Amino acid sequence: MTEQQASEPQSADEWFQKPPYGGCTQFAPKYKASCFCKRVQFAVQTCPLASKICDCSTCMRLHGAPMQWAVLFQKDAVRFEAESIKFIRFYNTSEDAAYEDGRDRKLPCKLQCKHCGTWIADEGRNMFMAMPTLFEFVTGGARPEFPESFLPASHIFCATQALDMCDGLPRFLDDNRIPCTPGDFLRFIAPSLDGKGHKGQAGRIGVLGGSVDYAGAPYYAGISALRVGAELLYLCTADEATGPIKSYSPELMVSSVYNFAKISNSATAEEEVNSFVSKMVAVLPRLHALCIGPGLGRHDAVLRGVAKVIEEANQRELPMVIDADCLWLITQNTDLVKGCSHIVLTPNVMEFKRLSQAVLGKEDADLKELCIALAGPTIIRKGATDLIFSAGKQYLEPLACSQEGAPRRPGGIGDLLAGTITVLLGWTKQRRRCQVQACHAACTVVRRAACRAYQKQKRALVAPDVLDELGPAFEEFCPA
């Protein structure tokens, strides 16, 4: 006897006592459903946990339809009417085994009315997957009006999709894990623009960067985050850089977190570093994700403060993008990112070589080898084809982004990518999605924006041209 069979009820008493066929008497029906002949009836006491459309061949063959629309409930939330149970037939598709008595059934299995033949639901160990069209919303007299929680959120198992549906729902090759395209991933994680959210809910993003010498890079990272959908942008920088950055855009909330004159003075450096860290620690709880590095510079005291900020953010497992000058810091102290699965590193060719040398003692390591050695972070190796990988995630090989970009590479494009990734990381964590896919989608959007900009500007292309195309490019993949 298998473990699964041993967990099944062995007596009639146990059979009737377990949900969805029996259970405690404290059950308050919220929605009711029945088969076509109404001999099988059941109720649920909650809204569905999920709703999706299955395009697998099994569902097509079983139902004689191009797809199956199903809503999921915990079994504890479902109850059949007592008289209905004798009319239920059980069928296991993997073994082609039918059971007239529920005590004999092998999970997972499908439920069918013995009299009218209606397929009613799928039963798993803990979950119950019902057909929305059997609920009381379908009366036969008018178009059904389903509650929002019943409406499908995605298509699953689309490799065998029979009809090319244009319903705008994200599509997955499996059960909501691997999207068919970057656009499908974006449609799944992007917050809905239905007017029901509040300010900041769709993304409170931080950028720590800029310095006495560099003010453009953090601006590009911050404004790109807003252009792809973030709602609040906290830009934390050197006191000397706040004026220039504020003059670029009123949309960025620019704050001074250290004074370069003080932090570079040996007499005041330690006090200023501590003040810098304290100010950043106060900001961290507000953020969904943080980008560190654009325009940061490489002053030792500044990087010492940044290292402490990374350690604080790591304790919160805050999604972070480490870019540009912060990658220099990582090559000096790789322990800051080792084992941290919430971190994304974005090295270009030279930065990758330095990181490889610091971690493995050689410059020519491949991406997988470096990721395995770091045991956590996702790495985007930027180049003619961007390669993304993270040890322990669902992909066994690096995910490649070969979306056409621009042959011209002016400064600032990497900062636009860093800001875009940071937003998608925040959304990804909220939806519990794959970080590698978020990075792939971000690379795809920025490359598409660069391609659109190059078609218009050619050799005159500069970063603001790409910035102007970020919104339209995102819209192409993920229509509002």
Mean pLDDT of 320-333: 97
pLDDT at 193: 86
pLDDT band at 61 (very low <50, low <70, confident <90, very high): very high
pLDDT in tens, 333-355: 999 999 999 999 999 999 999 99
Closest by CA to 232, choosing from 5, 426, 35, is 426
pLDDT in tens, 210-236: 999 999 999 999 999 999 999 999 999
Q: What span, in angstroms and rounded, lies between the C-alpha atoms of 104 and 90?
A: 9
pLDDT at 396: 87
Lookup: tokens for 59: 């569902």
Q: Cis omega (within 30 of 0) on the bond before 218?
A: no
Amino acid present at 381:
R
Q: Where are the domains of the chain?
A: 3-137+149-154, 204-477
Share of residues in the chain with pLDDT > 90 (%): 86
pLDDT at 350: 96
pLDDT at 176: 87
CATH code that applies to domain 204-477: 3.40.1190.20
pLDDT in tens, 75-124: 999 999 999 999 999 999 999 999 998 888 999 999 999 999 999 999 99
134 close to 39: Cβ distance less than 8 angstroms: no
pLDDT in tens, 169-184: 999 999 988 999 999 9
How many Å from the N-terminal Cα to the C-terminal Cα in the chain? 52
pLDDT at 102: 87
pLDDT at 5: 41
| Domain at 3-137+149-154, CATH homologous superfamily | glutathione-dependent formaldehyde- activating enzyme (gfa) (3.90.1590.10)
Statement: residue 410 has pLDDT above 60:
yes
Which SS3 state, helix, strand or coil, does residue 412 take? Answer: coil
pLDDT band at 6 (very low <50, low <70, confident <90, very high): very low
pTM for the whole thing?
A: 0.85
Residues 6+ apart with CB under 8 A from 330: 322, 336, 337, 345, 355, 358
Residues 6+ apart with CB under 8 A from 288: 203, 204, 205, 319, 426, 427, 429, 430
461 close to 410: Cβ distance less than 8 angstroms: yes
pLDDT in tens, 9-44: 445 457 667 899 987 778 999 999 999 999 999 999
Q: What span, in angstroms and rounded, lies between the C-alpha atoms of 206 and 236?
A: 7
| DSSP per-residue string spanning 295-358 | T----HHHHHHHHHHHHHHHHTT--EEE-THHHHHHHH-GGGTTT-TTEEE---HHHHHHHHHH
Q: What span, in angstroms and rounded, lies between the C-alpha atoms of 156 and 180?
A: 10
Statement: residue 167 has pLDDT above 60:
yes
What single-letter DSSP state applies at residue 82?
G
Angle, nearest 10°, between helix axes 413-431 and 435-457? Answer: 150
pLDDT at 91: 96
Mean pLDDT of 192-211: 90
pLDDT band at 74 (very low <50, low <70, confident <90, very high): very high
Lookup: tokens for 369: 């080898």
Statement: residue 303 has pLDDT above 80:
yes
pLDDT at 13: 52
pLDDT in tens, 265-277: 999 999 999 999 9
pLDDT band at 2 (very low <50, low <70, confident <90, very high): very low
Mean pLDDT of 201-206: 94
Residues 6+ apart with CB under 8 A from 195: none
Lookup: tokens for 259: 């004074």
Average pLDDT, the chain: 93
249 close to 220: Cβ distance less than 8 angstroms: no
